[in-house]
Amino acid sequence: MSNPVDYQNLFRLDGRRALLIGAGGIGGEAGLALAAHGAQVVAADRDPAVAKATAEAVSGESLELDITDPEAVERAAEQLGDLDVVVLTAAMNVRKRILDYTPEEFDRVVNLNLRGTFSVFRAFGARMVARGSGSIIGFSSIRGRTVEPGQSVYAATKAGLEMLVRTAAVEFGEAGVRVNAIAPGVVETPLTQQIKNDPGWYQAYATKGALGRWSKPSELAGAVVYLASDASSFVTGSTLAVDGGWTAVDGRFTPPT
């Protein structure tokens, strides 16, 4: 057999540099997993303390970065130079019904979740395309496909992110750059504390998915390593659902069969 694949090391990331934008929660776990597989990790966050804590945990670099500032994103891309992997987890949500949403709240959510994603793809994608390799991983959500009252703008930004991923995958693909998304379900992080504090709400979310529970941030890390590594060398323009079967189920009621 010619050119055998080294399956034993298919997920290894030795010698590769990975930028993690959004270094807390899911991002922090992703950083630990990338480093465990050999990557040199740069932890970036608009909160320098969060970036520093994750950087120390992975023996990497830290960077203060606000992706709502396109010029700051461009400067970061120039400063960091060649990167093999970019992981973007930074996002926000304002849970309000459409009739209660203010224009200012709309702008805040869209500026971070969608405009920020565009800036990251543009700045770091340009350098990967010029070099001819790289993997960009954005974080979508089950809300990019399924919604509930109060999730309109957040859901719209996540659906938009998935279309940016697909378009970037097509435009960057000839240069050998892959672009994919991960769509988590409900994850136990500080951002979901409001839901966790309500037992009925918490349980309703837990039983919506096929596995009957919430996920931990660490359960998203394997998907990040997969999409960053050669194990996914022919995967681009895809959204990988890591949602415990949430989007496979059409409701919480289990009828008699």
Active site residues: 154
d(CA 170, CA 236) in angstroms, rounded, equals 8
The correct answer on CATH 3.20.20.60 for the domain covering 13-243 is no
pLDDT of 2 reads: 61
pLDDT at 256 (0 to 100): 59
| Helix 152-173 / helix 116-131 crossing angle, nearest 10 deg | 10
Give the closest residue to 43 by CA, choosing from 109, 90, 78, 113.
90
User: Considering the chain, what is the average pLDDT of its residues?
Assistant: 94
Tell me: the pLDDT tens digits for 161-203?
999 999 999 999 999 999 999 999 999 887 777 788 888 889 9
pLDDT of residue 162: 98
Which pLDDT score is estimated for 185?
A: 94
Q: Cα–Cα distance between 225 and 11 in angstroms, integer?
A: 7
pLDDT mean over 117-125: 98
Domain ranges across the chain: 13-243
- Segment 21-38, tens digit of pLDDT: 999 999 999 999 999 999
Q: What is the pTM of this model?
A: 0.94
Q: Are 105 and 55 in contact (CB under 8 A)?
A: no
